[in-house]
Every structure is written in structure tokens, then in C-alpha cells.
């Protein structure tokens, strides 16, 4: 691997991992608020809302930790791609249904517009895809 690609991969891997760690920890710190954010999407019922709010932050933390440490990098990058594609689909769904909600990505009161969050998530998909392609096979 070219030295520039190796360094870029490391920077993207750590930055992406740090974002996932940060987002997950914020949600774990206030699970009730995150459950409210999940409920605002109007996709899953009452039980599903609390199930997602209990599990998703830990998945984000695990994914972030794997990326930061560089252990199972390709698996973590693939998981990051899938998570972000799901987030994008959910955000597009809220826009299509005329819902004006905060994405809940970075804790309660995250006032990021859906368009900005979708753009950010596409950038994260691109970064995770790059990390995946550069990872050890």
C-alpha cells in the first residue's frame, strides 16, 4: 500500500471510530432521551423504540472501538457502512413523510437538519468504504 494511502486510511479509521464512539457514548449517557429520538422517527412501536435505544448505542461504541484500535478493521468498516446507510434511509423516510425531527445522532437537542445529516452520513459511508477497501484481506 502506498504510504499516503496507509496514512489516510489510519486518519479516516480513527476519525470515523471516534465519531461512532462519541455518538454512542452520548446515547448511552441518556437512554431516555435517545428513546425519544427513536420514537420521533415513527418506524418502530413502543417495544421496538426501547429495544433500539438499548442496543444501537452499544453497537456504535463497539464499532467505534474496533475502528480506533484497528482490530477487525474491515468488519467494523463494513458495519459502519451498513449503519450509515440505514441512518440515511431513515432520514430520507422522515423527509418523505414530512416529519421535522432532529436526527438524534449526537444526543438530545441535536439540531442538525435532515439534509446536513444525510450529507454527513454519505461522507461517513465514503470514509468507511475507503477504510474497508484498504484494510487487510
**pLDDT surpassing 80 at residue 70:** yes
Q: b or e along 19-58 (b: 16 or more beta carbons within 10 Å of the residue's beta carbon)?
A: bbbbbbebbbeeeebbbbbbbbbeeeeeeebbebbeebbe
Tell me: pLDDT of 81 over 60. Answer: yes
pTM: 0.93
In this prediction, residues 18-33 reach a mean pLDDT of 96
pLDDT at 135: 82
Closest CA to 68 of 26, 30, 101, 24: 24
Which pLDDT band holds residue 102 (cuts at 50, 70, 90)?
A: confident
In this prediction, residue 137 has a pLDDT band, given cuts at 50, 70 and 90, of: low
Amino acid at each position: 500500500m502506498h504510504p499516503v494511502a496507509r496514512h489516510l486510511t489510519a486518519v479516516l479509521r480513527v476519525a470515523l471510530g471516534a465519531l461512532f464512539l462519541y455518538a454512542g457514548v452520548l446515547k448511552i449517557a441518556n437512554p431516555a432521551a435517545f428513546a425519544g429520538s427513536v420514537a420521533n422517527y415513527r418506524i418502530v412501536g413502543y417495544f421496538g423504540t426501547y429495544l433500539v435505544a438499548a442496543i444501537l448505542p452499544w453497537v456504535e461504541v463497539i464499532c467505534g472501538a474496533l475502528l480506533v484500535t484497528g482490530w477487525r478493521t474491515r468488519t467494523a468498516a463494513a458495519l459502519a457502512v451498513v449503519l450509515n446507510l440505514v441512518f440515511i434511509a431513515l432520514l430520507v423516510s422522515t423527509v418523505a413523510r414530512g416529519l421535522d425531527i432532529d436526527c438524534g445522532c449526537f444526543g438530545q437537542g441535536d439540531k442538525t437538519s435532515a439534509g446536513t445529516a444525510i450529507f454527513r452520513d454519505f461522507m461517513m459511508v465514503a470514509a468507511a468504504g475507503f477504510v474497508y477497501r484498504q484494510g487487510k484481506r
